Structure 1
Amino acid sequence: MITLVLTNRNRDLRIVKNCLESLRNQTTKEFELFFVDYGSDLDYLVGLKNLVVSYPKVHLILCPVNGQLWNKSRAINIALKLTNTPYFLVGDLDLIFAPQFMSTAYKLINSKDIYYFKYGFLSREESLKNKVYEEYEIDFDGNIDVAGTTLFPTEQLKDINGYDEFYHGWGAEDVDIHIRMSNLGCRVVFYDSSILVKHQWHPKQYRSKISKHPFHIGLEAINHAYMDLGKKTKRIIVNQNQSWGKMTDIEMYEKLKLGIPTVDLFLTNSLTVISAVLAQFANFNKEVLNLRIDEVDKLTIYKNQIKKKLNKKAINYIEMEQVNALILEQIIKNYRNNPYKYIFDRDLKYIQLKMVF
């Protein structure tokens, strides 16, 4: 049997419904379906729950990680840890699946191969139409590099600790898993005999600096460089120094939400101070940290620049985007499983982090 996982954060409910409806209309009903919501907004979740209740096949998992970086790998791995079927299929919530998609997947299953499926991309206008699968007109075909929907043998995927949870934001985790499965000895096959999935158009607002949600402008580039290094060094097993597929601990997240901080720190954007506080993270134990960093005012910066020109002792203030990058990279590398909430207000020029250690 096959287990399918879909991951979500604030995706348009019209798109979600189209996806779930296409899965309801599969020619075979023999599959498990996990829907992992990873950090959608609370008001959005009301509508999502009302929608999903119409699809009894869906096992809904809610991860209360709003205010954290998107981590598709962890969302997938949470479902993987719960999977007992011999095959595991990672899907894309933006897709409309052909009625014969799952039955075709069953014909392909093989303990030594993984298959990923060719996409057909719909235009914005076509995505808004209500049609049967065959009638949707494809705007352009996806190429061999589009790797978002893949069928795995479950045991082999678990053997390499699933998807690499270093990857946050968007980019590279789906290609990375293909590389590592290939290094394990599996054959990676691109299924392009027919287009069995059509991708619904959606805006890319989740990558915007306008939002106060966590966003690292250079993270996609880091992800791809990390993947390239993994390829060069022939990585197979990852997630070895932190738990992978870790379910969110509701009690700990309640502590994050309601708990009074045991440590309150109010700092500025001094590189020295930022480096010091990030080093201190390792010393916190069973504590709740509230950290706020404000950019110093223009007059302070001006006075500091004069000191530098006069070769006097000056403070090395850095841009808030750099502060943001340093903190988020620290979280990704060392504290990604900790309950935390992160805000970067670029207009008011402050960062606030609350984290449970």
Structure 2
Amino acid sequence: MLEIIFPYRNRGIERVKKSLDALANQTNKNFSVHFVDYGSDIETAKQVEVLIQNYSFAKYQYHPTNFQPWNKSRALNTVIKQLKAGFCFVADIDMIFHPEFVARAITLQKENTATYFKVGFLSENETKYTKQFNAYSINFESTHEATGLTMFPVKALHKIKGFDEYYHFWGAEDTDVHLRLKNDGCEIVFYEKEILLLHQWHKSYRSKETKKLTSDLQLSNIVRLNHQHLKHAGLNNTTIVNIERWGEPLSQEGYQLLESFSGKSKIILNKKETINHLLFCELPKVDKTITRFIIETDDFQNSLKYKIKKLLEKKVPNYYTLKAVNDKLLLHIISFYRNYNYNCKVIESAHKIELTICKP
């Protein structure tokens, strides 16, 4: 048996259908699919759930993390933690599977060995078509450096407590888990004898990054930070990293409690001293009582009086931009509060950031 795990959020339905159709055509049916929807918007979630009902081998599960940053590691760990034994394959919704993929993967299963696969990348134009696997024209092939599509022995992943949940947004979590498995004595093998997986073209995730504040949660330079974290794991021969509550996302009950909060919000202006106090003094004191912080621009910052005093080099408050506040807040959340129950919203129309948070 091969347990296939798809981590997912807000991707095109046609892309999902192509991938699942390819699995429906497998010659070896000894597999199951765990489709983890980690926080898609409600409309997309409904559409993909209905689609997946057409595939008897697939099970859909939704986690209400739509107001949290994307965390592929935790999405995967929600399934990995529940598996008892055997092998799991970390898939990608962009994949088109060769009809013999499952059959071949099962023959490669070996105790304490993780196997990852060479991938053929399709061009933008080629991705538009639906063809037999071998009829597709491959644009280029992946090398051993592309580690994202791996079949793991479940016991080996349990031993190191899964993927490192520090990694948010994108970058390095796949290479990190290979590194930590190696450090723990697991063999990592690159299967490159044939191409069994094709990657549907899409725009680079990094191309969506913006220097402006956006309701689509973003953190500037997160890729660099993630790669520094990977480097740290290598230098320190790291194995186990998730000490507390790994594989436990925000529950539906926790989400509803956060969303139904009706208490008094704490208004935080964007003065540097008030933001620093929030980060270093107020957030560390958050307990099981739900607290809502609303961060907004000080009206004085946009006043004529402020501009004149600043021009005359008089004493005026120092401010962070809301984008800078966003980055500082998200960095603190993923570093220190990722195991808390929280929703973080950027309300673009009102130029506000809203954080609702409590200990689980």
> Could you tell me the TM-score, scaled by structure 2's length?
0.92
Rounded Cα–Cα distance in structure 2 between residues aligned with 1:78 and 1:141: 31
Structure 1 segments unaligned to the other structure (5+ residues): none
1:302 matches 2:307? yes
Query: What is the match of residue 24 of structure 2?
Result: 24
1:74 matches 2:74? yes
Match of 1:324 among 313, 323, 326: 326
> Could you tell me the TM-score, scaled by structure 1's length?
0.93
Give the match's secondary structure for 1:220.
helix
- Alpha carbons 2:115, 2:188 under 8 Å: kept: yes
- Alpha carbons 2:85, 2:153 under 8 Å: kept: no
Once the two structures are superposed, residues 48-85 of structure 1 have per-residue CA deviations (whole angstroms, 9 ceiling, x without a partner) of 11101101211111001112100000000001012123
Match of 1:250 among 252, 257, 262: 252
- Alpha carbons 2:85, 2:155 under 8 Å: kept: no
Q: CA deviation at 1:46?
A: 1.7
Q: CA deviation at 1:281?
A: 1.6
Amino acid at match of 1:122: L
Stretches of 4+ moved more than 6 A in 1? none
Give the match's secondary structure for 1:243.
coil
Structure 2 segments unaligned to the other structure (5+ residues): none
Amino acid at match of 1:76: L
Choose 155-164 or 81-90, whichever is displaced more. Answer: 81-90
What is the aligned-residue identity percentage?
32
Rounded Cα–Cα distance in structure 1 between residues aligned with 2:310 and 2:322: 17
Q: CA deviation at 1:355?
A: 2.3
Amino acid at match of 2:215: K
Q: Within 5 A, what are the aligned runs for 1:332-351?
A: 332-345=334-347, 349-351=351-353
1:266 matches 2:228? no
Rounded Cα–Cα distance in structure 2 between residues aligned with 1:94 and 1:17: 10
Once the two structures are superposed, residues 116-142 of structure 1 have per-residue CA deviations (whole angstroms, 9 ceiling, x without a partner) of 111111111111101111111111111
Once the two structures are superposed, residues 88-139 of structure 1 have per-residue CA deviations (whole angstroms, 9 ceiling, x without a partner) of 2111111001111111111111112111111111111111101111111111
Give the match's secondary structure for 2:47.
helix
Once the two structures are superposed, residues 236-295 of structure 1 have per-residue CA deviations (whole angstroms, 9 ceiling, x without a partner) of 11111x31001432211111122323x511111122111211231222222222211112
Q: Are the structure 2 counterparts of residues 347 and 264 from structure 1 closer, same or farther at C-alpha, using a change threshold of 3 Å?
A: closer
Q: Within 5 A, what are the aligned runs for 1:180-191?
A: 180-191=180-191
Q: CA deviation at 1:208?
A: 3.5
Q: What RMSD over aligned residues (CA atoms) do the two structures have, in Å?
A: 1.9
Q: CA deviation at 1:306?
A: 4.8
Query: What is the match of residue 107 of structure 2?
Result: 107
Rounded Cα–Cα distance in structure 2 between residues aligned with 1:304 and 1:103: 73
Rounded Cα–Cα distance in structure 1 between residues aligned with 2:162 and 2:288: 28
Amino acid at match of 1:288: I
Amino acid at match of 1:82: Q
What is the aligned residue count? 352
- Alpha carbons 1:3, 1:85 under 8 Å: kept: no
Query: What is the match of residue 195 of structure 1?
Result: 195
